[in-house]
Homo-oligomer: A and B are copies of this chain.
C-alpha cells in the first residue's frame, strides 16, 4: 500500500493506493499553516488517520507530487505558487514523520506517470502528457522511462518559447506557451479580442466556454486561437521526443470539443510530414484526482 500525495496551490490531496486503485482519500488545506514544518505535520496526521482505517495493511512508501519539485534532490525549489518560496526538502520531512521512504516528484511528471501506468497512456513506450490549467505542465516518457533531465527538472513544455518577444510570462520571460494556453492565457486572449467584460467576471475558462456555446464570437475565436498555439507547441515536442500519443489533462480539457475539434485540425497541420499518422492526441480518461494520486504513488516505483 502506497500513500500518494498531490500538493496544489490551495489544496493537498492524500490517497492510499493499492494495485492501481485509490482505496481511500482525504483533502487538507495547503495554505494557512505557520510554516512548512507545520504543513508536514498536518500531512502526517491526515495520513495516519487514513492508514489506521486500512486494518491489516502496511504502508510501503510515500509518493509526493508537487509543483517545482526536483525528483533528484527531493526538494521543492522556490515554488511561486506555494506558500513557501524557499527550498523545502519535503521528501526527507515526510520520511521522518511517517517512518517510511518518501519520494518527491514534479506534479506534472506524477500526472504523466499516472496516465502512463493506469490511464490513456498504457502501453506507449514514448508518451507526452500535458496538464492545461493555471499553468501548463508536462511529463515526457521516452523509451519506457520518465524523462528527468541531467538536473532533475526536464519537461517544462509550458516554458518553451512560442512567440519571440511575445506576452509576458510568470517565469519572467516572454512568449512562453503557458502565456497563451493556460487559464490566464485564454482569459487574456478573450480580453484582447474584445470579449464581454461580464463573462470575465467569473473565474476560469468555463464562462468563456459557456459564452462560446451561446454564440459569442470572441469566445469562439479564443478557442480557435488557443488550439492553434497549443498545436504548434505540441508539434514542436513531437519533433523532439517522437511520442506515439499525447494525453491532455487538467481544467481546460473540460471544454471538450470546443477545444479538441479545432486542436485536432491545427495539430495535423502543424506536424512535420514524417510524424503524420504516427501520433494521436486524446484527453485523459482518468478522473483528475486519480491521475494525480496514482501518479504520485507511482513515483515510488521508478
Binding site for B on A (CB under 8 A): 68, 77, 124-126, 140, 142-143, 145, 147-157, 159-164, 171-173, 228, 232, 235-237, 239-244, 270, 272-275, 278-279
- Given known contacts A148-B242, A242-B150, A278-B151, is B272 in contact with A159 (CB within 8 Å)? yes
From B155, B160, B173, B239, A242 is in contact (CB under 8 Å) with B155
A232–B161 contact, CB under 8 A? yes
Given contacts A241-B154, A272-B156, A272-B159, contact A145 B147 (CB under 8 A): no
Q: Are A242 and B153 in contact (CB under 8 A)?
A: yes
**Of B156, B244, B279, which contacts A239 at CB under 8 A?**
B156
| Neighbour of A151 across the interface among B77, B143, B275, CB < 8 A | B275
Q: Is there an interface contact between A240 and B242, defined as CB atoms closer than 8 Å?
A: no
B143 with A270: CB separation less than 8 A: no
Q: Is the interface of A mostly helix, strand, loop or mixed?
A: loop
- Of B124, B155, B164, B228, the residue contacting A163 (CB under 8 A) is B164
Q: Check B241–A274 contact: CB distance below 8 A.
A: no
Bound complex: CA A155 to CA B238 (Å): 9
Q: How far is the CA of A171 from the CA of B235 in the complex (A)?
A: 14
Bound: A149/B151 CA distance, A: 22
Asked if B241 and A151 make an inter-chain contact with CB atoms under 8 angstroms apart, the answer reads no
State whether A272 and B171 are in contact (beta carbons under 8 Å apart), knowing that A142-B147, A150-B242 are contacts in the complex: yes
Known contacts A162-B164, A279-B150: A240-B243 contact under CB 8 Å: no
A244 and B125 CA atoms in complex are apart in Å by 24
Least CB distance, A234 to chain B, in whole angstroms: 11
Tell me the minimal C-beta distance from A259 to chain B in angstroms.
19
- Expressed in whole angstroms, the minimum distance between the Cβ of A58 and any Cβ of chain B is 32
Give bound CA distance, A228 to B165, whole Å.
Answer: 11
Q: How far is the CA of A270 from the CA of B176 in the complex (A)?
A: 11
Q: Which residues on B sit within 8 Å (CB–CB) of A240?
A: 140, 147, 154-157, 160, 237, 240-241
Q: Which of A124, A126, A154, A239 has the most CB of B within 10 A?
A: A239
Alpha-carbon distance between A273 and B239 when the two chains are bound, in angstroms: 24
Give the residues in chain B near A68, CB-CB below 8 Å.
274
Residues from chain B with Cβ under 8 Å of A77 in the complex: 274
How far is the CB of A23 from the nearest CB of chain B, in Å?
A: 32
Contact between B232 and A273 (Cβ–Cβ < 8 Å)? no
Most buried by B among A155, A242, A279: A242
Which of B142, B151, B270, B275 makes the CB contact (< 8 A) with A161?
A: B270
Indicate if the CB atoms of B241 and A149 lie closer than 8 Å: yes
Bound CA span A82–B60, Å: 57
Contact yes or no, A243 B150, CB < 8 A: yes
Most chain B CB neighbours (cut-off 10 Å) among A126, A140, A145, A161: A161
Judge whether B274 and A153 touch: CB under 8 Å: yes
Contacts of A236 in B (CB 8 A): 160-161, 236
